[in-house]
Amino acid sequence: MTDTGTGMTPDVVAKAFDPFFTTKPLGEGTGLGLSMVYGFARQSGGQVRVYSEVGQGTTMCLYLPRHTEETTVDEQPVLLPPAGSAGDGEVVLVIDDEPTIRMLIKRGACRRGLRSDRGARRSSRSQCAQFERPS
């Protein structure tokens, strides 16, 4: 992925994958995104490379090993209930620092008949309708 932003200094690049490291102001980011990408890449036998120049932008390259073995499926896939089916009173705890992401997850949970807010006093139908309104 490449951007044409401000780029990163070498000291910022050196810390970019550290958990909780962020250059954003307090309350505007957790600093977990790149550390999670790095963790996923390493667990998968891959790596992440950063190329950045101050004033020019940054390029992040994610390298994952190629899978060459034949695969077999031993288990049946997990099937989600159809949209709108009853969730049998199940509640989903939604945690994310981005309001848009929280709203999308809550909307998906609602469509599956799950509640995403224990303190909600409205019916689930009115909650779903609330999520469908354009902002």
Whole-angstrom Cα distance, residue 99 to residue 95?
10
Average pLDDT, the chain: 77
Q: pLDDT category, 118, cuts 50, 70, 90?
A: very low
Q: Angle, nearest 10°, between helix axes 124-132 and 99-111?
A: 130
Number of separate helices (H) and strands (E) present in the chain: 4, 3
Q: pLDDT category, 132, cuts 50, 70, 90?
A: very low
List the chain domain ranges.
Answer: 2-63, 80-135
**Hey, which CATH number is domain 2-63, 3.30.565.10, 3.20.20.70, 3.30.450.20, 3.40.50.300?**
3.30.565.10
Whole-angstrom Cα distance, residue 5 to residue 94?
31
Percent of the chain at pLDDT > 70 equals 75
With a CB cutoff of 8 Å and minimum separation 6, the contacts of 121 are: none
Give the model confidence (pLDDT) of 8-44 as tens digits.
Answer: 999 999 999 888 888 888 777 777 788 888 999 999 9
* Dihedrals phi, psi of 39, to nearest 5 degrees: -60, -45
* Dihedrals phi, psi of 50, to nearest 5 degrees: -120, 130
Cβ atoms within 10 A of the Cβ of 106, count?
21
pLDDT of residue 100: 83
